Amino acid sequence: MSEATMADVIDVEIAESKSAQAMTPALQQQPQRAVVSTTPSDLLRIAVEGGADIDKLERLMELQQRWEANEARKAFVVAMAAFKREPVEIYKRKEVGYKTKDGDFVGYKHAELSDVTDAIAPAMARHGLSFDWDIHQGNGSITVDCVVTHVMGHSKKVTMTGAPDTSGKKNAIQQTASTITYLQRYTLLAATGMSTKGEDDDAGGVDDQPGDQGTSSANARATGKPSEPQFYDQKKFDANKETWREMVKSGRKTAAAMIQFIESKGAKLSADQQNTIDSWAHEND
């Protein structure tokens, strides 16, 4: 067997080097191919030009619709993210309550529907977003759908249902209108992920409601001494409880809704008073 000499190795290396140099210009002369993204619309156009049958065209049209819907969804997400970066502030301007003789306000504030829409609508429009409501009535309740829509067609819906607002001395139309406005406000806030400044408790919270509690708090500030909790006057409770009892027994209000309704007009109910109202709901059991 013959052995390779150093000269043979050098000759091979030189030959390989020359071969690589000869190939390099050829590789450099090959054109760079651009990456082309083909959409379902392109495929549909090509199929039409190629005389494809109806079955293939229908499948391509369905594919095109799914693709457009997905693109619209992505655009909606981008638009909502941009909208959330807007410095939108919704202030509670509506006062509900009264002022004491010392000038202290006893009550609460909440944002009206116009406060919400005036703050949100311009910012949404800047990002191709809009909103509207669908209203449905039936079985003694009112349902409001808030639909937020992007210009590309994707939408998001939030639904809330409530009974007509029978508080105060409203007529039937006013009861319906009050509930609709309330539901419009809260569905829009939910659909956009927005909130009002501070805790909005106009749905029936008791901490800031007008009544004996507020007066007691004012007295505590004046004297510097902690006050005893003030509950709903028992004489007033006894005078009205038969009327309230019939409303709960007839199903016009649940026990929880009745408690919330009473406390929204006065001081907090005591535990015994709440238990009495709750017992009415079980009289027909």
* Average pLDDT rounded to a whole number, residues 127-152: 95
Q: Cα dist. 24→17, 18, 30, 242 in Å? A: 11, 10, 10, 101
Please give the torsion angle defined by the CA atoms of residues 215, 221, 223 and 228, in that order, rounded to the nearest 10 degrees: 50
The predicted structure's pLDDT at residue 216: 43
pLDDT digit string (tens) for 233-259? 888 888 888 888 888 777 777 888 888
Give the pLDDT of residue 272: 80
pLDDT band at 222 (very low <50, low <70, confident <90, very high): very low
Residue 227 has pLDDT above 70, yes or no: no
DSSP 91: -
pLDDT digits (tens, 9 = 90+) for 150-199: 999 999 999 999 999 988 788 999 999 999 999 999 999 999 998 886 54
Specify whether the backbone of 4 is left (phi greater than 0), alpha (psi in -120 to 50) or beta.
Answer: beta
Please report the pLDDT score of residue 99 as a whole number: 66
pLDDT value of position 258: 81
Q: Mean pLDDT in the chain?
A: 75
Calculate mean pLDDT across residues 109-133.
92
Collapsing DSSP to helix, strand or coil, 210 comes out as: coil
For the entire predicted model, the pTM comes to 0.52
Mean predicted confidence (pLDDT) in 50-54: 74
**Amino acid residing at 227:** S
Q: How far is CA 229 from the centre of its chain?
A: 36
Distance CA 171, CA 167 (A): 10
pLDDT value at residue 108: 67
Helix (H) or strand (E) holding 143, with range, is strand 141-150
What ranges do the domains of the chain cover? 56-203, 205-285
pLDDT band at 208 (very low <50, low <70, confident <90, very high): very low
**What single-letter amino acid sits at 18?**
K
Contact by Cβ (8 Å): 187, 146:
yes
Higher local confidence (pLDDT), 99 or 209: 99
pLDDT classification of 262: cutoffs 50, 70, 90: confident
pLDDT value for 141: 93
Residue 265 has pLDDT above 60, yes or no: yes
Tokens 């007009």 belong to 265
Between CA 112 and CA 89 the distance in angstroms is 13
Could you give the CA distance from residue 271 to residue 30 in angstroms, rounded to a whole number? 88
Q: How far is it, in rounded angstroms, from Cα 120 to Cα 114? A: 10
Residue 28 has pLDDT above 90, yes or no: no
Q: What is the mean pLDDT of residues 85-96?
A: 82
- Cβ-count burial of 231 within 10 angstroms (0-12 exposed, 13-18 middle, 19+ buried)? buried
Percent of the chain with pLDDT over 90: 30
| Per-residue model confidence (pLDDT) at position 256 | 81
Residue 206 clears pLDDT 80, i.e. is over it: no
Task: Tell me which residue of 262, 112, 274, 69 sits closest to 202, measured CA to CA.
Answer: 112
pLDDT higher than 60, residue 217: no
Contact residues for 47 (Cβ-Cβ < 8 A; gap 6+): 56, 57, 60
Looking at the chain, the whole-number percentage of residues with pLDDT higher than 70 is 67
| Least confident segment among 23-27, 63-67, 108-112, 215-219 | 215-219
